[in-house]
Chains A and B, each alone.
Chain A
Amino acid sequence: DAKTTQPPSMDCAEGRAANLPCNHSTISGNEYVYWYRQIHSQGPQYIIHGLKNNETNEMASLIITEDRKSSTLILPHATLRDTAVYYCIAWAGDSGGSNYKLTFGKGTLLTVNP
């Protein structure tokens, strides 16, 4: 899996948009960009993933640059409950086999302030 680079921490005001960057300059053509988050003392929660096109769901939007070397996760209206560690992972998923694994880096600790 391609290595990703994220800032260790970010702050955001409640109600504002949170934009979390991720660099993945060595991403392979078959690797998706996945975002998970982990609230303190809980298991990771899937947020969103994409390959080339921008994606949006009820939780967030994912913007991927045209060269796919970086991406940004956008939480449009951050709340206090969005305070968590956010992980950006480049992952090929089930590449035809039955043995595939996610590799977690250190992520970004997003703190949403009142």
Chain B
Amino acid sequence: GAVVSQHPSRVICKSGTSVKIECRSLDFQATTMFWYRQFPKQSLMLMATSNEGSKATYEQGVEKDKFLINHASLTLSTLTVTSAHPEDSSFYICSAGGLGADTQYFGPGTRLTVL
């Protein structure tokens, strides 16, 4: 299957700082990338969908000004958590799919801890 990477794998930051998470499709071009969040003992919740070269589409209840998404190329999408607070601590996972693709492939996830 296709490979999707995320960086960093884990990050600890102070409250009020911003954190950027990168998602890369390593061996295919991803026209669409997705960002999920997963709290302990819960399932994945979709936050937003990003399409290369256009604005991201956010799910209801997700603050677009707090979670900035950029999909500048067909292999890279970034999620920036701005002014992070302890309640933003979570496991962030991206996935990628190409146009006409029949499968989404997931990254390994990024564990964010905000102190």
Contact = CB atoms under 8 A, between A and B. Distances in A.
B102 interface: yes
Nearest to A42: B108
B15 interface: no
Interface residues of B, number: 30
Interface residues of A, number: 24
B24 to A, nearest CB: 13
Interface of B: 1, 4, 6, 31-32, 34, 36, 43-46, 49, 51, 57, 91, 93, 95, 97, 99-109, 111
Given A43-B106, A93-B102, A99-B32, A104 B111 contact: no
A32 B102 contact: yes
Interface string A79-114: 000000001000001100011111111110000000
B109 A99 contact: no
8 contacts: A41-B109, A42-B109, A43-B4, A43-B95, A46-B103, A46-B104, A94-B101, A104-B45
Interface of A: 32, 34, 36, 38, 41-46, 49, 87, 93-94, 98-107
Given A93-B102, A98-B31, 14 more contacts: A32-B102, A41-B91, A42-B108, A42-B109, A43-B6, A43-B106, A46-B1, A46-B103, A87-B43, A94-B101, A98-B32, A99-B49, A100-B97, A105-B43
